[in-house]
Structure 1
């Protein structure tokens, strides 16, 4: 009897069909069924993730085929994000270990860090100290350390489980000497004398109504890292309210709020939020300088 599948191309077609049939949701690194299938196949076969074409007509071993079918079915049956299946997530060219203790990295702040926050940061005041609030997997703290090589970085999360993942990623990038992890509620665990040139935060910001509508894939992620209260701004309000105390005189606060711009504008109507341009648009990340916070 001829096996139903022979090549990588066969399994790719099958996976795309299964994912579309199951009406899976995407957004944890891949935007569609094809990209998701290609990633899972290449990762499972230990092939370069940017090199599908040369292997499309390669014959699969029976053991490889079995393993791939198991991965495809797990994605369909469990509706788990691909990153939890592979325990790997990529953010702006950097791979990170992830599991269900943390949300899958996808922050737009990462791309701003790659540009060293140009042109918004004042070059006359170099970034020497960074605070990453709600650090989760530690991905933004690591990107900050990589892109501001003279800076030390403090990273805070209320979840001990998340910090265990962050610690693993910090060790992978050999940044333990420059990144310090703190367990606690936002600014609470920080040394009283610390001041920061840059505070970044990708906090829980999903409003309660949207939480009830999240696809199954997102429900695998920790609710603690997603839910931001009735308007999504519960944690964001605390971050903004405390920022002036912790910023250096010319420091900058950068906060990601997803699709909640209207709620953010309403919550901070007395502040002049500066919305930064990202690949997703101008509605997702806002900036405040220390001077902007003097009025609260």
Structure 2
């Protein structure tokens, strides 16, 4: 006798929502369909496909990699192990970016270390008049970002390179945004949870977690128009240090913004006009 969806769900060690998401992936149906048809029998092939996905999740692999997608800023972004999984707190970076160019017509925007393209694509979709360039040192990450831009209908330019070493030329930008690697290389969290499966290059600079931020902040004046803004994401305990970097570099109106958990997650400032 074939097993049913209900029996499979009852036997699963996963939370019900995760099991539903995996069954939805296998069968190509919605969660509502699964609930309405939980007494339907499932084929041996479908059950084997589900169990393979279930085993990956039990081993700790992030759902985003198993499903191949993650929602961000109201859009479905495809993700692979080549890129960081977009997180809700990074939506604060998009908010900061959009606010900083709200009064600028046809702004030029630079997203450094774009990963999946979540930030750059979200900005481009919100501001179709913007000229957005996204960079990443990883060709595999750029391929994912380009795929997401095509799927979501966003017009972007892409460059491969490390921070400002990305064939940027002499053009200056109204906004530079970045969610760089900012975790200290000695942080024990790198060996825990989802981050065990994410690319180390996108998580840590291999040092104290501030190397990339120092490079981005100190290099920004050479790539911003007068009055241009810099917005960066950083770690939960780095806001004061990052504000110091901005101020030492000469930025005005430096401030840190809190995410939904109340953590100072984003720091921004304007280059003097």
The answer to whether the superposition gives a TM-score over 0.5 is yes
* Pairwise CA distance, 1:228: 2.7
Greater strand proportion: 2
Unaligned segments of structure 1, at least 5 residues: 20-32
* SS of structure 1 residue aligned to 2:46: helix
The equivalent residue for 1:222 is 199
Unaligned segments of structure 2, at least 5 residues: none
Deviation readout 1:182-206 (Å, 9 max, x if unpaired): 1111011233321111211011011
* Pairwise CA distance, 1:41: 2.5
Distance 2:100 2:53 in 1: 44
The equivalent residue for 1:245 is 222
The equivalent residue for 1:24 is none
1:61 to 27, 43, 50: 43
- 2:2 is equivalent to residue 12 of structure 1: no
Q: How many residues align?
A: 269
* Pairwise CA distance, 1:242: 0.9
Distance 2:104 2:73 in 1: 26
Structure-2 change in CA distance of 1:91 and 1:269 (3 Å): closer
Contact kept in structure 2, 1:45 and 1:64, CA below 8 Å: yes
* SS of structure 1 residue aligned to 2:241: helix
1:93 to 74, 79, 86: 74
* Pairwise CA distance, 1:47: 1.6
* Pairwise CA distance, 1:265: 4.6
- 2:236 is equivalent to residue 259 of structure 1: yes
* SS of structure 2 residue aligned to 1:72: helix
Distance 1:51 1:121 in 2: 43
* Pairwise CA distance, 1:149: 1.1
Structure-2 change in CA distance of 1:35 and 1:245 (3 Å): farther
Query: Could you state the TM-score of these two structures normalised by the residue count of structure 1?
Result: 0.79
Distance 1:51 1:117 in 2: 39
Contact kept in structure 1, 2:246 and 2:269, CA below 8 Å: no
Distance 1:185 1:112 in 2: 20
Structure-2 change in CA distance of 1:191 and 1:231 (3 Å): closer
- 2:169 is equivalent to residue 171 of structure 1: no
The equivalent residue for 1:104 is 85
Distance 1:266 1:129 in 2: 24
Contact kept in structure 2, 1:198 and 1:247, CA below 8 Å: yes
User: Which of 200-209 and 275-284 deviates more?
Assistant: 275-284
Structure-2 change in CA distance of 1:207 and 1:112 (3 Å): closer
* Pairwise CA distance, 1:153: 0.7
Contact kept in structure 2, 1:101 and 1:161, CA below 8 Å: yes
The equivalent residue for 1:151 is 130
1:82 to 34, 47, 63: 63
Contact kept in structure 2, 1:233 and 1:267, CA below 8 Å: no
Greater helix proportion: 2
Distance 2:239 2:63 in 1: 31
User: Which of 269-278 and 81-90 deviates more?
Assistant: 269-278
Structure-2 change in CA distance of 1:6 and 1:134 (3 Å): same
The alignment yields a C-alpha RMSD, in angstroms, of 2.8
Distance 2:269 2:88 in 1: 18
The equivalent residue for 2:114 is 135
Query: Could you state the TM-score of these two structures normalised by the residue count of structure 2?
Result: 0.85
